[in-house]
Amino acid sequence: MALRTRLAGLIGSGALLAGALVGVGSTPASAAGVTFGFNPYPDGGGRIYAQEDGNYLGDVTWYADGDATHAEDTLCALDAWPDGRYVRGYASFVRTVDTSGLTSPSTRCQGGDMNKGQKFTLQMCLVAVGSTPVCSEEYDVTT
């Protein structure tokens, strides 16, 4: 009987430990429905976008050498959906921009000319105060 009790205790402890380990590596519930996509641009720039439950949440865009509205190398974050989160964009160690403090829909950009041919990565995160950011993978872009 004592052996049965010990075995049951060990099995129960093992199941509890396995459940805890699985919980540590799992995706946060807030990230479960978010999907990210990437559209590369021929000039080296690109756009990461996010969707959830059929709603377009926003995007982060790197404009290499600008475009019709941006004169120089520019990073923009667009928050398109009023869900309490804001959008943050990272261009490696070059620039960071976010829509924190703005009412959705909103856009914030940061630009400035850079040396041509620099390679770096672009990433988009959805951030809610007090929660872990939900981020895309990193994508290669250039100036």
Q: Report the C-alpha gap between 4 and 16 in whole angstroms.
A: 18
Q: Report the C-alpha gap between 105 and 115 in whole angstroms.
A: 32
Q: What is the pLDDT of residues 93-143, one digit of tens each?
A: 789 999 999 999 999 999 988 888 899 999 999 999 899 999 999 999 998
The model carries a pTM of 0.75
Give residue 39's pLDDT. 98
| Residues 34-142, CATH architecture | Sandwich (2.60)
Mean pLDDT of the chain, nearest integer: 81
Domain positions in the chain are: 34-142
Instruction: Collect all residues with Cβ–Cβ distance below 8 Å to 109 and sequence separation of at least 6.
Output: 70, 74, 75, 76, 77, 97
3-state secondary structure of 14: helix
